[in-house]
Amino acid sequence: MKKMIEQREIEVNEEGYLLDFSQWDKEIGEKLAEEQNIILTDKHWEVIEYLQDKHRKEEALSIRGIKKSGVINIKEFYSLFPGGPLKKSTLIAGIPKPKSCI
């Protein structure tokens, strides 16, 4: 499925996750965040960079892993990405939805 963001066509699945990570950049991330009613702060970007790094290393993502990361505590993670923090943060980061998310 194709989606237009900033006059660019990106490939997404039926849930809105990017199918090709190479199409992601900060501008795309900001637009995806806006669609989730999230305005990105420096802390959001820190989490996004952490998630993308894990993705590049092909390491599984989970709430437990985020908790142990030292990047952010769980309470703050939920407040930055309300209503499904791992699901929303990975969508904004341009990486696939973790298997641990329903």
CB 90 within 8 A of CB 51: yes
3-state DSSP helix/strand/coil % of the chain, to nearest 5: 50, 10, 40
Active site residue 94: no
Catalytic residue among 40, 69, 101, 102: 101
Whether the Cβ atoms of residue 59 and residue 90 lie closer than 8 Å to each other: no
* Cα distance between residue 9 and residue 11, in whole Å: 7
72 neighbors 51 (Cβ within 8 angstroms): no
The one-character DSSP state at 36 is T
Catalytic center residues: 101
